[in-house]
Amino acid sequence: MAVGSFILLGIIVAVVLYFVMIYNNLVRLKHNVSQAWANIDVLLKQRHDELPKLVETCKQYMGYEKDVLQKVTEARAAVSKAQASGDVGALGKAETQMRLGLASLFAVAENYPELRANESFQHLQARITQLEAQIADRREFYNDSVNANNVRIEQFPDGIVANLFKFGPRELLTFDGSELKDVDVKALFNG
């Protein structure tokens, strides 16, 4: 074989290896997004299991605060439905309602000293607050993974491999702006 043939063969092998590396990196990014979603899913299921206990504990003390309890129950159902369908957009909206409902519930609970003193309520409130913080952390990791995936599939030459093997963009998990507003505690007590 001539030297030119070896050079051409070397270039072809280098290009193929480069595209294999790109493919493997895209696969890794895709699986990072899936793993990040699974981590959120685990925490949502844990919170889903804790909420009925919290609502039952609150019902014993907050007989006439049925609206607040109903909102938490409805939000729990919406989160569960969005989670089961894997709809990131619907989950973001449902999570916003859940967080607002929990904030309202905890704010209204301040008006019930017996409830606040209840050991079960304290434990459940601490557990759900801990889960909320973990969900926020996992959401950040998920969005970082989605962003890394989406950037890579748009970059050249990664975009060529991504289009060739149908690697698609993923949706960020975002919550409504209403989650960023402070809860109007006065309105909760007057409502």
For the chain, how many residues are written? 191
Q: Read off the amino acid at residue 139.
A: R
Give pTM, 2 decimals.
0.79
Q: Which long-range contacts (CB under 8 A, 24 or more apart) does 48-51 make?
A: 48/76, 48/79, 48/80, 48/83, 50/124, 50/127, 50/128, 50/131, 51/76, 51/128
pLDDT of residue 114: 85
- What does the DSSP 8-state code read for residue 183? P
**What's the chain's average pLDDT?**
88
Residue 99's CATH number: 1.20.1440.20
pLDDT of residue 112: 86
User: In whole angstroms, what is the distance from residue 146 CA to residue 153 CA?
Assistant: 11
Biggest distance spanned by C-alpha atoms of the chain: 90
How many structural domains compose the chain? 1
Q: Count how many Cα atoms sit within 13 Å of the Cα of residue 20 in the half-sphere of its side chain.
A: 6
- What tens digit of pLDDT does each residue of 13-47 get? 999 999 999 999 999 999 999 999 999 999 999 99
Q: Reply yes or no: is the peptide bond before residue 52 cis, omega within 30 of 0.
A: no
19 lies in which domain range? 3-190
Token duo for residue 105: 């519930």
- What tens digit of pLDDT does each residue of 61-70 get? 877 678 888 8
